[in-house]
Structure 1
Amino acid sequence: MSIEVNKQNLDVLYLCLKKAFQNAFDGVKPLYPALTTRVPSTAAAEVYGWATDFPAVREWIGERELHKLTEYEYAIKNRKFESTIVIPADKIADNQLAMYNNITAEMGQQAAQHPDQLLFELLRSGASAKGYDGVPFFGEHRVAKGSSASGTLSNALLAASKDDTKAPWYLLDLSRALRPFIWQEREKYRIDALTDPRQSHEVFMRDEYLYGIRGRGSMGYGFWQMAFMSNLELNAANFTMLRQRMVSQRNSAGNMLGIAPSVLLVGESNREAAFYIAQAQTLAGQAPNPNYGLVDVWVTPYLD
């Protein structure tokens, strides 16, 4: 059955495509909400103030101790993203739209998963990209006096040579109000249409209608103290070494921060090793596994 290409029918088509996009978008369960602190953005970039130490609750003796979150400033610039399809007018007139409905649904899934891609790009570049304190996010950090004898602490257990370098794996504390990473959302992903020949060169000159996704936002680094990584082999010894380093963190008063990993995040290549470390109840010979249940194991294809 043919369709007259007019404003009314184009509006109905847009609503159908928009519904397909949104239903598919809502059906996706991405990882990034659990790993990030969501920060609404109202500008082209947002500037964050950070302190070197976690403000701790202490007995009030004398005057208050003031913790100013301005020792470091860290700016995250928003980025703009799009994905656009073209539907020829003849396809609409001939009612050949089933494929475009499916494509629009796929675009909805891709839009919902896109922040995951940004997050794992951030993770993979963390050994060189700088965090709020001006050093690589996964690297040697200056810590407050009293929290470390050397005055520094590394949240990375890195291979000494290329031959020893393996797929990265991460220990994350996702139990706190603040998360290791920031999802800065300027404009939610949405689908728009350009179907008016008075506004669109494509409609007037090519007899084509445009439907596209648009969104603005950016991923950034948060508290490095809650994210530790290694590119050494994922085995029990390296897991224990990195975990011990993470849970041993103290504040400037020498008190434990209480940070402990809740998630072991790995790629597909480390899935089996992660299972034997954290999910198997017994080791070879039926010995109890001391790491059983210490962390949840999350597997993602984005890390390989």
Structure 2
Amino acid sequence: MLINQTNVEEVFRNVRATFNRALAAAETRHQHFATVLDTDQIVEKMDWVGSLPNWRKWVGDKVLNAMAAHTYSLTCEEYESSIAVKRRDLEADRLGIYRIQATSQGELAAYFPDERVADAINDAFTATCWDGKPFFATDHPTEHKDGTPATYSNMGATPLSAATQAAAIASLGAGLQALRGMKNDRGRPVRIRDIRLLVPTALADVANVLATNDRLEDGKPNPYKGVVQVEVWEELTSDTAWFLMGEAGGLRPIVLVQRKRPTTAEVTDPNDSHVVRSGEFIFSIEADAVAGYTLPQLAWGSTGEG
């Protein structure tokens, strides 16, 4: 291939098309657990999370839902992944290797939101949310109906088990009961929908037994068949932790803040200083995002450590 701007740009058009096909073909899962929020801010203030509306009797003037006095914010972080397209390879028409790499880049871009959401879930037993407590905690602050201080829990330690009906009730059953019983800060039901059981690969078999089998390992009827949909994420780092997550009021427990969705950046000019110096053109992807937490009442997490 003769190396000039026109020919190089044609190669990159083909690389970009391969990238876009892979990007479109990937099946992502972050949307099942995360609310996506696009922003132009590097630091996104999340004060609104604690100020979601509630019904009250209309007596006198309307009461506006002011932002809660919390300072929870999320700082977007930049990510990149780059391919060096060697001038020498283009001269020799070795284009197949770059189609393979472009496919990999497309999948990498597609799964970028999944990875950020998985990061937040992996950190959720220690990383703080809007109320100053770890997202999964036994002592989230709230109030009784009379305004006196109270706490609630969205965390357990029971291992997920299908060994016996009693063990299933004590693990999955207890988590479901706790999640379905969640109240907002006015003491009203959260009304969680689309509850999913999220597990690492180590718990996939146990979770699928609980979700699909007629009977459990002790031969007794399975009360949880068809109750939850199971999702197995390879990105989860704990082999014992398991999670129940749902949606209410258009909100999911994780928030993915995106300042820049994965996008391509290229260097195709043969006279560019980098190309002249290194003999390499560049095909890269860039993103700027962060994942954090919304309402703890939308999720239940167990360390599974007993």
- For normalisation by structure 2, the TM-score amounts to 0.69
* Partner residue of 1:301 out of 234, 243, 250: 234
Q: How does 1:102-251 map to 2 (within 5 A)?
A: 102-139=100-137, 140-146=139-145, 151-158=150-157, 232-235=158-161, 236=168, 237-251=170-184
Mapped to 2, the partners of 1:252 and 1:102 lie a distance apart of: 52
Letter of the 2:196 counterpart: V
Equivalent position to 1:282, from 207, 215, 220: 215
Q: Which runs of 5+ in 2 are unaligned?
A: 162-167, 238-306
Structure 1 unmatched ranges of 5 or more: 159-231
- Confirm or deny: 8 A CA contact 2:50 2:130 kept in the other structure: no
What SS does structure 1 have at the residue aligned with 2:66? coil
Amino acid of the residue matched to residue 83 of structure 2? I
Amino acid at match of 2:159: E
Write the mapping of 1:251-290 to structure 2, written as runs, cut at 5 A: 251-259=184-192, 262-284=195-217, 287-290=220-223
SS in 2 for 1:76: strand
In structure 2, how many angstroms separate the alpha carbons of the residues matched to 1:6 and 1:53? Answer: 58
1:81 equivalent to 2:75? Answer no
Q: Is the 8 A contact 1:31 1:116 kept in 2?
A: yes
Counterpart of 1:41 (choices 12, 22, 39) is 39
Q: Distance in 2 between matches of 1:289 and 1:29?
A: 31
Matches of 1:240 and 1:147, distance apart in 2: 30
Q: Which fold has the larger relative contact order, with Cα–Cα distance below 8 Å and residues 6 or more apart in sequence?
A: 2
Distance 1:147 1:94, change over 3 A: farther
Q: Residue 110 of structure 1: SS of its match in structure 2?
A: helix
Displacement of 1:285: 6.8
Distance in 1 separating the partners of 2:203 and 2:217: 19
CA distance in 2, matches of 1:130, 1:259: 22
Q: Structure 1 pair 103/51, CA: closer, same or farther in 2 (3 Å)?
A: closer
Contact 1:147-1:250 at 8 Å conserved across structures: no
Residue 87 of structure 1: how far off its partner (Å): 2.0
Q: Relative to 1, partners in 2 of residues 1:272 and 1:147: Cα closer, same or farther, differing over 3 Å?
A: farther
Counting matched residue pairs gives: 229
| Equivalent-residue separation in structure 1 for 2:26 and 2:11 (angstroms) | 23
SS in 2 for 1:81: strand
Quick one: structure 1 residues 13 and 51, their matched pair in 2 at CA, closer, same or farther if it must change by over 3 Å? closer
Q: How far is 1:10 from its partner?
A: 0.6
1:188 — aligned with what? Answer: none
Distance 1:153 1:147, change over 3 A: farther
Q: Which SS does the other structure have where 2:72 is aligned? A: strand
Aligned equivalents of 2:212, 2:149: Cα separation in 1: 35
TM superposition shift of 1:69: 2.3
Q: Which amino acid aligns with 2:65?
A: H
Shift of 1:135: 1.4
Given candidates 76, 97, 100, the residue that maps to 1:99 is: 97
8 Å Cα contact 2:50-2:68 kept in structure 1:
no
Deviation at 1:286, TM superposition (A): 5.7
Query: Which amino acid in structure 1 is aligned with residue 117 of structure 2?
Result: L
Q: 1:243 to 1:285 in 2, by over 3 A?
A: closer
- Conserved? CA contact 1:50–1:71, under 8 Å: no
Instruction: Give the SS at the match of 2:143.
Output: coil
Contact 2:19 2:106 in 1 (8 A): yes
**Partner letter of residue 279 of structure 1?**
T
CA distance in structure 2 between the partners assigned to 1:69 and 1:131 by the alignment: 16
Deviation (angstroms), 1:54: 4.6
What displacement does 1:78 show?
1.2
Work out the CA distance in 2 between the residues paired with 1:148 and 1:233. Answer: 35
- Give the Å deviation of 1:57: 2.3
Q: In structure 1, what residue type is equivalent to 2:15?
A: L
* Aligned twin of 1:23: 21
Q: Any conservation in 2 of the 1:21–1:104 contact (CA below 8 Å)?
A: yes
Q: Which moved more, 1:12-21 or 1:235-244?
A: 235-244
Could you say if the C-alpha distance between residues 251 and 76 of structure 1 is closer, same or farther in structure 2, counting changes exceeding 3 Å? Answer: closer
CA RMSD in angstroms, aligned pairs only: 2.2
